[in-house]
Amino acid sequence: MLTDQQLQELKKQLHVMKEEAEKENHNHDGYVNEDEDQGNSVGELSNVNSHPGDLGTEKFEREKAYTLSEHAEEQLNEINAALERMEKGTYGYSEHSGKPIPFERLQAMPTARYLVEEQEESS
């Protein structure tokens, strides 16, 4: 069972992680905007005069930004779920077995939902 001090430490860590994930997600908003005309993103009025390498680079950058944004969004969901579990009083207990998750595991991975051995079984 986690002490109040341990819970506060983990809650602070989750809030820092949340800020970082929100910043990361915000940093990629410009590339991920699906409404934007992808052909004009390299600053040209038309794709006709653009070098194919420029278009390929732009496509790569868009895909990379999209992937990073998706990862940040997944992280935010996990962090928010962990904070919600804290509010409900179920944080720090395995969702599979109900056994307490060791503090050391939660320090390393504050969003952990399972014991290490349970996580390995589900992977």
The token pair that represents 3 in the structure block: 């002490």
pLDDT at 36 over 90: no
Whole-Å CA distances, 106 to 17, 20, 57, 78, 80: 13, 18, 39, 13, 15
Nearest to 65 by CA among 36, 99, 94, 106: 36
Q: Is the pLDDT of residue 7 over 50?
A: yes
What is the amino acid identity at position 35?
D
Q: Note the residue count of the chain.
A: 123
Residues 68 and 21 sit within 8 Å (Cβ to Cβ): no
Q: What is the pTM for the complete model shown?
A: 0.72
- Report the pLDDT value the prediction gives residue 98, as an integer from 0 to 100: 95
